Chain A
Amino acid sequence: MAMLSRLASRSSHLGRTLLLPRSLCCSTGGRHFASSAGDEGPTFTVETSVPFVGHRCEPPSREVETTAKELMGFFRDMSLMRRMEIAADALYKAKLIRGFCHLYDGQEAVAVGMEAAITRKDAIITAYRDHCIFLSRGGNLVETFAELMGRRAGCSNGKGGSMHFYKKEGGFFGGHGIVGAQVPLGCGLAFAQKYLREETVTFAMYGDGAANQGQLFEALNISALWDLPAILICENNHYGMGTAEWRAAKSPAYYKRGDYVPGLKVDGMDAFAVKQACKFAKEHALKNGPIILEMDTYRYHGHSMSDPGSTYRTRDEISNVRQERDPIERVRKLILLHDLVSAAELKDIEKEIRKEVDNAIAEAKESPLPDPSELFTDIFVKGCGTEVYGVERKENKILI
Chain B
Amino acid sequence: MALKIVKGSIDRMFDKNLQDLVRGIRNHKEDEAKYISTCIDEIKQELKQDNIAVKANAVCKLTYLQMLGYDVSWAAFNIVEVMSSSKFTYKRIGYLAASQCFHESTDVIMLTTNQIRKDLSSPNQYDTGVALTGLSCFVTPDLARDLANDIMTLMSHTKPYIRKKAVLIMYKVFLKYPESLRPAFPRLKEKLEDPDPGVQSAAVNVICELARRNPKNYLSLAPLFFKLMTSSTNNWVLIKIIKLFGALTPLEPRLGKKLIEPLTNLIHSTSAMSLLYECVNTVIAVLISLSSGMPNHSASIQLCVQKLRILIEDSDQNLKYLGLLAMSKILKTHPKSVQSHKDLILQCLDDKDESIRLRALDLLYGMVSKKNLMEIVKKLMLHVDKAEGTTYRDELLTKIIDICSQSNYQYITNFEWYISILVELTRLEGTRHGHLIASQMLDVAIRVKAIRAFAVAQMATLLDNAHLLTGNMQRNGICEVSYAAAWICGEFSEHLENPMQTLEAMLRPKVATLPGHIQAVYVQNAAKLFATVLKSQEGNTDSTAAQETSQLMIERLPLFVQSANLEVQERASCILQLVKYIQKLQQKDVEVAEEVSALFAGELNPVAPKAQKKVPVPEGLDLDAWINEPPSESESEDEQPKAIFTKEETKHSRPRHIEVDEKELARRREARKQEQANNPFYIKASPSSQKVYQDTPGVEHIPVVQIDLSVPLKVPGLPMSDQYVKLEEERRQKERAEKKKKEKKKRKEKRSGRGKKHDSGPESEEDITPAHMVDIVTEEMPENALPSDDDDKDPNDPHKALDIDLDNLGEMAGRRPLADSEKLPVRSHRAVEAAKSPGEDGDAETVATQQPKKKSGKDKRDDKKKDKDKERKKSKDEKKKKKHKHEEKEEDLLRGEVHEPVVQSEGISQVAELPTSTSAEEAATVAAAEAPVAEVVSGAAQDSEPDEPKDTEMEETKSSKHKKKKQKKEKEEKEKKKKKRHHHHHRHSDGGGEESVQNGTVEEEEPLPSMSNYCLLAENSYIKMVYDIQGNLQDGSQVVVSVIFENKCDSFLKSMEFNVLDSLNSKLQRPEGSGPHDGLTVPFQLPPGVSNEARFVFTVQSIVMPQKLKGTLTFIVKNEESSTHEKLDFKLHFTCTSYLITTPCYSDAYAKLLESGDLKGSSLKLEGVNMPFHHLLARICFHHHFSVVERIDSCSSMYSRSIQGHHVCLLVKSSGQTVSIDAKCDEPTMLGNVLDEIKQTFSQC
A binds B: no
Residues of A within 8 A of B (CB): none
